[in-house]
Amino acid sequence: MNKKFVVFTDLDGTLLDYYTYSYEASREGIELLKSHDIPLIFCTSKSYAEVIYFREKTGNNSPFIVENGGAIYLPPEQFEQFNRLKQLERLEHVDGYSALELGASYDRIRQVFKEMKREFKDMLTGFGDMTVEEVSRYLNLEPSLAAMAKVRRHDEPFILKDPSLLERVKQFSQQNGLKVYPGTRFYHLMGNTDKGVAVKELVSLYRTVYAEIIAAAVGEGKNDEPMFRQVDMPYLVKKPDNTFTDVALDRIVKIDGIGPYGFTLAVKALLAEA
């Protein structure tokens, strides 16, 4: 293998089981990538704190993308190699990581969200309105993880009680410089970014270090589509109901496995081509 591969992966419903958040079935794929020295980059709607937790659990030390492309984080032992990033004025330093913030601030998003709630007569409930117990129940997460999920920086996950309002809610967010995107379990209100914007930025950073980068991505949801568009090898795994999300990308490779089972199969397919 004389090219440098990097693999981006969604977490909820892809690397992690949709219902239990277990990575038992994806562990084989994770270990295969480690043994080939291929970085596995989490690219998720999860919050920074949740991603830190799952990086530690899975022994991951790669850069990561949080909150649907809201920010890219580079670990301290790695950002020195990304020379171009050092020149970027927008670089923030968070807990020893170098962060490139691409999304709107949470304060701004909450401000617009509150206006939306008034406009649509409380048909929306966001993470910022919910208690830890409520988030825990909705996400089937233990309370300590639900508390982590609630700490948002660039994206507000929300429930829309009347789905017929979706188009009007999208319009309202656009008029306020934000956008609405469907995630695995929630809609998300966020700035003018997505997983694809962040993946494109990080791939270009890798290209400053390695002459030839081949980027792959594994995902299962509609919010993974922008990520798929930015990589050479996009792999779509199955949803828990054994079907595929509709992805409008001809070169997508469909993997016949649900979530983390599909993840391991996708890694094997990638390595077979590497």
| Binding stretches for Mg ion (CB under 5 A) | 10, 12-13, 184, 221
Instruction: State the catalytic residue, choosing from 10, 17, 155, 224.
Output: 10
How many angstroms separate the Cα of 56 from the Cα of each of 53, 68, 147, 148?
A: 5, 20, 17, 14
Q: Do 55 and 65 touch, CB atoms closer than 8 A? A: no
The answer to whether 39 touches 6, Cβ cutoff 8 Å, is yes
CB nearer to Mg ion: pick between 46 and 85: 46
Which letter, b or e, does each residue of 228-257 get, where b requires 16 or more Cβ atoms within 10 Å of its Cβ?
A: bbbbebbbbbbbeeeebbebeeeebbebeb
Measured CA to CA, the distance from residue 262 to residue 9 in angstroms comes to 12
Give the whole-angstrom CA distance, residue 35 versus residue 60: 13
CB of 236 to Mg ion, least distance (A): 11
Length of the chain, in residues:
274
Shortest distance in whole angstroms from residue 144 CB to Mg ion: 21
Do β-strands 187-190 and 155-160 pair in parallel, antiparallel, or remain unpaired? Answer: antiparallel
Per DSSP, the three-state class of 45 is coil
Nearer to Mg ion, 201 or 225 (CB): 225
The Cα 64–Cα 55 span in angstroms is 9
* Catalytic (active site) residue 10: yes
Q: Whole-number minimum distance, CB 82 to Mg ion, in Å? A: 27
Task: Give the shortest CB-259-to-Mg ion separation in angstroms.
Answer: 8
Strand pairing category for 187-190 and 253-258: unpaired
Q: CB of 111: closest distance to Mg ion in angstroms?
A: 27
If the CB atoms of residues 12 and 156 are measured against Mg ion, the closer one turns out to be 12
Q: Which residues are marked as active site?
A: 10
